[in-house]
Amino acid sequence: MATRSLHEEQATTFSSELKLIPRWSIAAAIFAFAVMQYLFWVVFPQGRHHPPAPFGLRLYFALSWGALASLYMLMVGYVSKDSPRRGMSARVWIVVCLVMPGGIGAVLYFLLRQPIISLCPACGTPVQSEYHFCPQCAYQVSASCGNCYRSVRITDLFCVHCGHDLASDNRPARLHAFR
Ligand SMILES: [Zn+2]
Ligand SMILES: [Zn+2]
């Protein structure tokens, strides 16, 4: 079953990624939204330098800035959970995300982030998610074609890249990975 969880980690879907977001960052997002509403509806109207903006415009700015601040908090939460499973420092990347203005830190994170690392079920060596075999013990950690060695799905009968009959492999990938 250990190999199975390895596979599930590889097939990262958007909803499974959303589940990474920790509770504290959801709370921080709600708080940030509330702070923005306070600023736009209570603090800013008190400045008498400008005539008050029309209601629609104020609503637009309050909601858009509130949503932006909330998203920012959720993203920092995501980075704090996503970076350790890629062997990257969570602290460094949280600071980068917070310090770089306008979300540049987050863009950098998604450009530079490493593949997800999991442990080889046979010997415990850290294995990157795109590997097919453990570099230390040659345990097959994901299904691959016996002809072109590219990734195949565990339910495939034929390789989608070269048409190879996967069942004819010496050790059929689809069976071996589930062993
Ligand atoms: Zn191994
Ligand atoms: Zn192939």
Could you report the per-residue pLDDT of 100-150, keeping only the tens digit for each? 877 899 999 999 998 889 889 889 888 988 888 899 988 888 888 888 988
Ligand lying nearest the CA atom of residue 119 = 1
Sole residue written with tokens 């013990």: 137
Ligand lying nearest the CA atom of residue 124 = 1
Ligand lying nearest the CA atom of residue 164 = 2
How many CA atoms lie within 13 Å of 167's alpha carbon, on the beta-carbon side? Answer: 3
CB 83 within 8 A of CB 112: no
Ligand lying nearest the CA atom of residue 161 = 2
Ligand 1 center from residue 138 Cα (angstroms) = 6
| Model confidence band, residue 46 (pLDDT cutoffs 50, 70, 90) | confident
pLDDT at position 56 over 80: yes
pLDDT confidence of residue 78: 94
Ligand 1 center from residue 128 Cα (angstroms) = 12
Ligand 1 center from residue 18 Cα (angstroms) = 30
pLDDT confidence of residue 6: 47
Ligand lying nearest the CA atom of residue 131 = 1
Separation between Cα atoms, residue 116 and residue 139, nearest integer Å = 18
Ligand 2 center from residue 49 Cα (angstroms) = 69
Ligand 2 center from residue 166 Cα (angstroms) = 8
Cβ-based burial of 70 (10 A; exposed 0-12, middle 13-18, buried ≥19)? buried
Ligand 1 center from residue 119 Cα (angstroms) = 8
Report for 2-16, 19-33, 146-160: range of highest mean pLDDT: 19-33
Residues with CB under 5 A from ligand 2 (ion): 145, 147-148, 159, 161-162, 164
CB 13 within 8 A of CB 65: no
Cβ-based burial of 168 (10 A; exposed 0-12, middle 13-18, buried ≥19)? exposed
Cα–Cα nearest to 177, from 147, 151, 148, 154: 154
Ligand 2 center from residue 115 Cα (angstroms) = 23
Ligand 1 center from residue 130 Cα (angstroms) = 15
